[in-house]
Amino acid sequence: MGKVYFVGAGPGDPELMTLKGLRVLRRADLVIYPGSLTPREAVEEWAPDAELVDSYGRSLEELVELMVEAAREGKTVVRLVSGDPFIYSSVYEQVRELERAGVEYEIVPGVSSVNAAAAALGEELTKPGVSQTVILTRPAGRTGKPKGESLRELARHGCTMVIFLGVRYLEDIVESLLEGGYSEDTPVAVVYKVSTPEEKIVRGTLADIVEKVKEEGIDRTALIIVGDVLREEGERSHLYSKEYARSVRR
């Protein structure tokens, strides 16, 4: 019996694959990858000897059948997932089916687009005295979103917010965030295709971001990052204060 590995493919740059993921890819027989988010050239570089299948346009059932069949033939299968599998990846649905079929699996983490976006902005998303909390969320769309998780509700916290899968609905999102309590001058960054050659960063405020993003023609594959951390310096962190260093030495 073979095994299925769910591997975080990172946000696009082939160098953002982990060493662990690369080791698994090097010995994979079959790699299923999300062609819309992970370039085929990257997959060919990571897994030169494997059979490659683009998951775009295939149903979950079809993909699970492919994985189960290959594992039953004793093959090592890698299911690449854009970014990290911990968020908006449908991994849990696939894992459930593999468990039903008695196929062994393992999840290998990757670099999420949120990590890469913060790096591209040159920012830390938490700053002492400004925000110590990051909300990762998405607009409701067709996916069921529990009550109490509406953007307007979440905006009440006023902390840093990262919105996935939302740039197409930017106008509605801005409206909900303002209704929830962010002020019009709250900084926003929209980060498109981070870590790829097409990367674009648009910075603005809740008052002008819709226009700016429209001008750039961005309508997919972007993160919306909102909050005062994008503007403010923040207080000194205790971790690197002289007093803390002295007490640790003692």
What residue number has its CB nearest to ligand SAM?
83
Assign 3-state DSSP to the chain and report helix, strand, coil percentages, each to 5. Answer: 35, 20, 40
186 and 226 in contact (C-beta within 8 Å)?
yes
Q: Tell whether residue 221 is a contact of ligand SAM (CB under 6 A).
A: yes
Piece of the chain touching ligand SAM by CB under 6 A; list 123-131, 176-184, 189-197, 239-247: 189-197
User: What does DSSP say about strands 222-226 and 187-192: parallel, antiparallel, or unpaired?
Assistant: antiparallel
Helices assigned H by DSSP within 27-80: 40-46, 60-72
Q: Tell whether residue 12 is a contact of ligand SAM (CB under 6 A).
A: yes
| CA 250 vs CA 28, 62, 173, 245, 246: distances in Å | 50, 60, 50, 9, 6
- DSSP annotation of 87: S
Q: Could you tell me the two tokens for 225?
A: 């990052």
Residue of 87, 101, 201, 207 that binds ligand SAM (CB under 6 A):
87
Q: Tell whether residue 200 is a contact of ligand SAM (CB under 6 A).
A: no
| Residue nearer to ligand SAM on the CB measure, 157 or 193 | 193
Piece of the chain touching ligand SAM by CB under 6 A; list 25-33, 81-89, 93-101, 201-209: 81-89
Q: Tell whether residue 11 is a contact of ligand SAM (CB under 6 A).
A: yes
How far is the first Cα of the chain from the last one, in angstroms, to the nearest whole number?
54
Q: Tell whether residue 205 is a contact of ligand SAM (CB under 6 A).
A: no
Q: Tell whether residue 113 is a contact of ligand SAM (CB under 6 A).
A: yes
Q: Tell whether residue 37 is a contact of ligand SAM (CB under 6 A).
A: yes
**Interface contacts to ligand SAM, rule CB under 6 A:** 11-12, 37, 82-84, 87-89, 112-113, 164-165, 191, 193-196, 221-223
